[in-house]
Amino acid sequence: MSKTKNLPTEFENLLEESVRTHGHLCPGQVLGVRMSMHGLNLIGINNPRGEDRKKLIVYVEIDRCATDAIQSVTGCSAGKRSLKLVDYGKMAATFVNLDTGKAVRLFAMEDSKDKAKNYFPDIEDKYKCQTEAYKVMPIEELFEWKEVEVKIPEQDMPGRPKRRIQCESCGEHVQDSRDIEVNGKLLCKACAQGGYYS
């Protein structure tokens, strides 16, 4: 079986662009590109970086290589408020069509790692084997998916901030209802719950 000879051109182009953005080719890049392509298709988004760019939000559940691929393919980003990281440590993502409300969650099947060897038994390095196999494996061997319902709060939608307050403890400003009321005071999360820095 040829490594890439029979791959669809769209997939090859998207993978190439993703690898440029991410910095290297790996199994996560291939999974992220294929997951994105399938997720977008399932929710009816044809041109995520063009005419459909304001119709899409993606929730990713892991801060690993696949997330870069998903960002590259969809054009979604944290800065545009269209890529949401909900770090569950799972190789999964939910694609939401804001126009129709249709949402589909895809997650990578763990046994695809073992099945990869069936496609390229001569490649001894497991990561190289997975990288090549994930390019050609049927989508049903890579992912499971289901329609889900995602209720997106107004303050999480793309666009200008709906609310901005000043923390009554540190004086820094907080946008998008990320403040917390404690004993009648509006505080930033760092002051209310402790920050990741000290």
**Interval 162-167 mean pLDDT:** 94
pTM above 0.85, yes or no: yes
**Interval 160-178 mean pLDDT:** 95
Unique residue bearing structure tokens 């999360």: 189
**Interval 136-161 mean pLDDT:** 95
Q: Name the token pair of 196.
A: 């990741």
Same domain, 142 and 103: yes
pLDDT exceeds cutoff 80 at 157: yes
CATH number for the domain spanning 178: value is 3.30.60
pLDDT at position 5, please? 44
pLDDT exceeds cutoff 90 at 1: no
Establish if 20 belongs to a structural domain: yes
Nearest to 132 by CA among 10, 36, 20, 15: 15
Q: pLDDT (tens digit, 9 = 90+) per residue, 80-103? A: 999 999 999 999 999 999 999 999
Same domain, 123 and 149: yes
pLDDT at position 148, please? 98
**Interval 52-80 mean pLDDT:** 96
- Answer with the residue of higher pLDDT: 3 or 168: 168
Q: pLDDT (tens digit, 9 = 90+) per residue, 11-49? A: 999 999 999 999 999 999 999 999 999 999 999 999 999
Q: Measure the CA–CA gap between 94 and 149, rounded to whole angstroms.
A: 10
pLDDT at position 198, please? 86
Distances (CA, A) of 106 to 26, 37, 65, 109, 152: 19, 11, 16, 9, 18
pLDDT at position 58, please? 98
* Structure confidence at residue 3 as a pLDDT band (50, 70, 90): very low
Same domain, 116 and 180: no
Same domain, 71 and 131: yes
For the chain, where are the alpha helices, taking DSSP H only? Answer: 9-22, 27-43, 65-74, 112-119, 126-136, 139-142, 189-193
Establish if 102 belongs to a structural domain: yes
Residues of the domain holding 111:
9-154
Establish if 75 belongs to a structural domain: yes
Q: C-alpha 41: how far from its chain's center?
A: 15
Q: C-alpha 30: how far from its chain's center?
A: 13
Same domain, 52 and 93: yes
* Structure confidence at residue 7 as a pLDDT band (50, 70, 90): low
Establish if 4 belongs to a structural domain: no
CATH number for the domain spanning 89: value is 3.30.1330.130
pLDDT exceeds cutoff 50 at 171: yes
The total number of structural domains that make up the chain: 2
Same domain, 164 and 149: no
